[in-house]
Structure 1
Amino acid sequence: MSYIKNQLKMTRSSLIKEIDELSPEFMDIQPTGFNNTIHWHLGHVLCVADKFLFGKSSNLPENYGQLFGYGSKPSDWTGNVPSTETLKQQLQEQLDRILEIPEETYKDKVETPFMGMETVEDFISTVVLHETNHIGQIHAMKLLIQSSN
């Protein structure tokens, strides 16, 4: 298995571990100083990875972009919002799908470069970096929520 796939597996495992240790009632608390909830972060990580790596072949529901895309926030949510358990399951399924991307395609150029990312590997690396950032946010939020309850 390639280095980048190992990084992705470790990162996704860390994300799942963070939420497994948290009481479900804390998922929708928005601590002071934070723009979103842990629930939102889970959906956001899922959506960004799917958009970067699968684009038009995404298998996520259409409303996920509105719920979890850049600039979205839980206070604007309406309609059918997936539970954190659903998102957790989708994150696990998505990891399997990402790991199925053939390593021989990693150096292939993508149709539409974005923010300096030109190859499949560039996008996978950015997904890992993005997810790691959100794990840090989730961890900080978790500490604040647990210390105030």
Structure 2
Amino acid sequence: MSELLFKSFELTRSYFIKIVEALDEAILDVQPHGFNNTIHWHVGHVLTVAEQFMFGFPKKSTSLPANYMEIFATGTKPADWQGDVPSMQELSAQLKEQTKRIKEIPAESFNEKLKTPFLGQETFGELANFAIFHESLHLGQIQAMKRVIEAANAK
């Protein structure tokens, strides 16, 4: 099971990074009509939520700055950002570093039951699978936002 999870995670994350790094910088902080956030926010959110799911951020992991919860957690938005916000280059580097750490998680960990089920997920492996699903959802949002922004700019 863990080999399949690692392979799925690596496939999803490598594609996510490839798409994000190819984006025009001019569109990263545009919030198109009908969307709650920006591409910049989505990238930070994916990083932050994966850190929560896989490493217990912010209580058990110090690999990301604590303020990422205030910037990128569910329910946050760029309109409320204050202080230092990481650049897309920083986020991209952190996504790559996080992928390496995820691949170092012991295989037996994925069978462990969660203390409290989360969104229907009962084991750490199920939660890891949900992290992959979550990342894919946000990748779809990023791609949709890119198309909407580019279409608006073409007029």
- Deviation of the 1:15 alpha carbon: 0.9
For the residue of structure 2 that corresponds to 1:110, the secondary structure is: strand
Aligned to 2:43: 42
Alignment of 1:1-149 (within 5 A): 2-55=3-56, 56-58=59-61, 59-149=63-153
TM-score w.r.t. structure 1 length?
0.94
- Deviation of the 1:54 alpha carbon: 0.7
Hey, what's the Cα distance between the residues in 2 that align with 1:136 and 1:130? 10
TM-score w.r.t. structure 2 length?
0.91
- Deviation of the 1:22 alpha carbon: 0.9
Checking the alignment, whether the CA contact within 8 Å between 2:21 and 2:92 is kept in structure 1 is no
1:38-73 deviations in Å (ceiling 9; x for gaps)? 000011001111111111222211110010011100
Hey, what's the Cα distance between the residues in 1 that align with 2:25 and 2:8? 27
Checking the alignment, whether the CA contact within 8 Å between 2:70 and 2:76 is kept in structure 1 is yes
Hey, what's the Cα distance between the residues in 2 that align with 1:104 and 1:54? 15
Hey, what's the Cα distance between the residues in 1 that align with 2:86 and 2:50? 17
Q: Which runs of 4+ in 1 moved over 3 A?
A: none
**Quick one: percent identity of the two aligned structures?**
48
| Amino acid corresponding to residue 152 of structure 2 in structure 1 | S
Structure 2: segments with no counterpart, 5+ residues:
none
Structure 1: segments with no counterpart, 5+ residues:
none
User: What is the total number of aligned residue pairs between the two structures?
Assistant: 149
